[in-house]
Structure 1
Amino acid sequence: MATLKEIANAVGVSVGTVSRVLNNDSTISVGDDTKIKIFEVAEEMQYKTLKQRKTNSKTKTNKLRVGIVEMYNYSEQLQDPYYLLLRSAVERECFDNEIEVVNLYKTEDEYKYIGNEILSGIIAIGKFTQNEVSMLNEVCDDIVFLDSSPNEQKYDSVKVNFKLGTYKALDHLIKLGHMEIGYIGSTKTPDDYREKTQDNRLKFFTEYMRSKSLYKKEYILDTKEMTAINGYEITKKFIKDNKNMPTAFFVGTDTIATGVLKALYENNINVPEDVSIVGFNDLIASQHTIPPLTTVRVHIEHLASASVDLIMERINRNRKYSKKVIIPSELVIRDSAKEVKLTK
């Protein structure tokens, strides 16, 4: 079994950093990429924390075995680490509950996993087509969908309350005096069956702004994809093509917001003095942008905990009916949004 020092050498960080990351120390200031790399190397080297070693040393009976499957592959996740962090949280929750994790992978016409043991259940992270849902059902009947809800009558699901988060963000900007508010993000994102439809954040942004008679179509910037580079390019183009700038932008994800901040900085537009920015997700890096990002926090740990609780309840209590859990989001106020400047 690997040591902390071996992991630290492989990643290029200190032993202390590795220890704190693997033990889920929320106070450590480490970038998402570094965190992800530490977890990956630790898994490759089959490192176990003290808690995991103690758990493994116990005699276990009727141990649950849960398959985990994801919408995105690793390279796609690096463009936006949200799902990668969500998977890590699910795996930690499984370890804490002495649940064995099995990775599912997709072939041309079915989902497979290594080993012959029967799965107790599946946690499916992301959005899946109707065909993919059927293929997963061939592997196991007990499935929890995390971040989608393809069939509420048949499957358990856990989702984020996008409306609550969006409304809180816009309430905050309105209270700061902003009347000219734009949206930056992908206008169409995968729905519960992975079909591209209007993004929920844009849907509720539009609903809110129209209710206040403040909606302006020209302030909707479509990034097409949820990446930092797309946020950078669309913002740069908007600045070049438009003389008028809204006093604030609500941005679909923190990942996009990093690109937006870069484009504004390069064009000598100060945040929050000239324009306020509010993001969505509250990734770890959002605390360390310049300025630190005001954003809507999606409680990844609560999403993971709820999905594992549902699969355990479904199996251990033989629950036959399905449940849908909606996790509230909350506004985290930092320095990227301030009271609007009144022009004379």
Structure 2
Amino acid sequence: MATTLKDIAHAAGVSLTTVSRVLNYDQSLSVGAATRKRIFAVAEELNYTKIRRPQAEPQTKLHKIAIVQWYSEAREQDDLYYMAIRLGIEQRSQYHQFEVTRIFQNNINQLTGEIDGVIAIGKFSADQVSELQTLTDNLVFVDDDQFTAGFDSVLTDFAQAVQQVIDFFWTQELHDIGLIYGTEITTDGQRQINDPREQAFKQAMTAHQAYRAEFCFASDFTNQGGYQAMKQAITTLGDQLPHAFFVANDPMATGALKALQEAQISVPERVSIFSFNDTALAKYVYPELSSVHVATNLMGATAVDLLQKRAQQAQVPQRVELGTELVFRASTK
């Protein structure tokens, strides 16, 4: 098995980021000469070889790209949002006749040979970003804002979407609105990700002078997570249970629906539910979920186009933020 940066970092007793920057001759890195010497000595001892092409070689056409999905294959089946993004990437890549390699759960050690570009889906720590950068300079992130770190990023406009949901509930005279949102951590456990919908919700409700922290419940982005969060809301709030809930994704919303049904709380007569992502799951539950439609296919296609442009000529990083639209179904009045 080929030596990785993690192997060198472990043997040299330094961070993965430090190894990456030293081996890339980053003169701005504040590290002692002894540490630099030790890292190069360990790299030589372990026969480390970079697998990305030399910087001086011109590249005008992508041939082989890798999709690095932060979810496992099993988890991707449970959260169709990330699967839809991946399919969008693959469809656009097929149009350009790119050879595509899929890597799940950020396991880049599975990559063999040389690649021309990487599209990373999900959330990544600084060390994971540094490791991806050793593969190629052509790197695009989807659903993770790495723009300030110098990388192209394709994102969703969460703030506007949440504001539209709150505005809709307000027109329905629903002013006591609860939130079920998610918490995540990168696969290496190094970065905790805050749900941008939680902050957008707080801002929108505060503007109406209606934000109540006790109406907000955090869990993981799974069906069981949504179920447990709504069970907690029902138990702790009782008759004060909000008449509307915004839920951060479709799997959580289906779990929340189950908890309400078990408690014999009618939807939407007593509680209205508005979900997020609008995957196929939203249409296969009862009642069908109103949901914020996210342009997942376009997110994937945009990432491929950005990668192609970056390979053709050097350019400044781009941050592309796509809009959303509300899809109304039976879970709201």
1:289 aligns with 2:285: yes
Quick one: distance in 2 between partners of 1:273 and 1:105? 42
In the alignment, the residues of structure 2 paired with residue 222 and residue 97 of structure 1 have an alpha-carbon distance, to the nearest angstrom, of 41
Alpha-carbon distance in 2 for matches of 1:62, 1:252:
39
Distance change >3 Å, CA 194–CA 253, structure 1 → 2: farther
Instruction: Give 1:85 shift.
Output: 2.3
Partner of 2:319: 324
What amino acid is aligned across from residue 75 of structure 1 in structure 2? A
Pair 1:149–1:239, CA change in 2 (3 A): closer
TM-score by length of 1: 0.74
> Is 1:176 the equivalent of 2:175?
no
Which residue number in structure 1 is paired with residue 24 of structure 2? none
Does 2:140 match 1:141?
Answer: no
Q: Is the 8 A contact 1:127 1:194 kept in 2?
A: no
2:196 maps to which residue? 200
Change (3 A) 1:232 1:94: same
Q: Counterpart in 1 of 2:310? A: 314
- The change in CA–CA distance for 1:107 and 1:172 in structure 2 (over 3 A counts) is closer
Corresponding position: 1:65 with 2:69: no
Q: What letter corresponds to residue 66 of structure 1 in structure 2?
A: I
Asked if 1:268 corresponds to 2:267, the answer is no
Question: Is this contact kept in 2: 1:247–1:275, CA < 8 A?
Answer: yes
Instruction: Find the structure with the greater CA-based Rg.
Output: 2
Is 1:128–2:124 an aligned residue pair? yes
The alpha-carbon deviation at position 173 of structure 1 amounts to: 0.7
Indicate the residue corresponding to 2:73 in structure 1. Answer: 74
CA change 1:334–1:212 in 2 (3 A) is same
Deviation of 1:152 after TM superposition, in Å, equals 3.4
Name which of 110, 113, 126 aligns with 2:111: 113
* Deviation (angstroms), 1:314: 1.1
Unaligned runs of 5+ residues in structure 2 are 1-59
Question: Post-superposition shift, 1:172?
Answer: 0.7
> Which aligned pairs between 1:15-26 and structure 2 lie closer than 5 A?
none
Secondary structure at the aligned position of 2:240 is classed as coil
> Equivalent residue for 1:154?
150
Secondary structure of the structure 2 residue equivalent to 1:139: coil
Measured at CA, do residues 163 and 155 of structure 1 come closer, stay the same or move farther in structure 2, by a change above 3 Å? same
Cα pair 1:104 1:111 within 8 Å, conserved: no
Deviation per CA, 1:111-162, whole angstroms, max 9, x where unpaired? 4413x3x322110111111111111111101100111122436211101110
Superposed, 1:290-305 pairs within 5 Å as 290-305=286-301
> Structure 2 CA distance, aligned partners of 1:190 and 1:234?
18
1:300 to partner: Cα distance: 0.5
Verify the 8 A CA contact 2:70 2:106 in the aligned structure 1: no
* Equivalent of 1:246 in 242, 257, 265: 242
How far off is 1:312 after superposition?
Answer: 0.9
Matching residue of 1:277 = 273
Residue 84 of structure 1 pairs with residue 65 of structure 2 = no
Letter in 1 for 2:96: N
After TM superposition, the score normalised by the length of structure 2 is: 0.76
Q: Look up the equivalent residue of 2:315 and give its one-letter code.
A: K
- In structure 2, do the counterparts of structure 1 residues 83 and 194 end up closer, same or farther at CA, with 3 Å as the change threshold? farther
Taking the aligned partners of 1:129 and 1:219, their CA distance within structure 2 comes to 31
* Match 2:252 to one of 253, 256, 263: 256
> 1:276, 1:337 within 8 Å by CA — same for their partners in 2?
yes
1:334 aligned to 2:329?
yes
Q: Identity of aligned pairs, percent?
A: 31
The C-alpha deviation readout for 1:244-301, integer Å capped at 9, x for no partner, is 2111000011110000111111111111111100000001121232111111111101
Cα distance between partner residues in 2 of 1:62 and 1:246 = 54
1:165 maps to amino acid: A
What displacement does 1:78 show? Answer: 3.3
Is the CA contact (8 Å cut-off) linking 2:245 and 2:274 kept in structure 1? Answer: yes
C-alpha deviations, 1:29-48, integer Å up to 9, x for none? xxxxxxxxxxxxxxxxxxxx
Contact 2:277 2:292 in 1 (8 A): yes
Residue identity matched to 1:113: L
Alpha-carbon distance in structure 2 between the residues aligned to 1:203 and 1:132: 26
Return the letter of the residue paired with 1:101: V
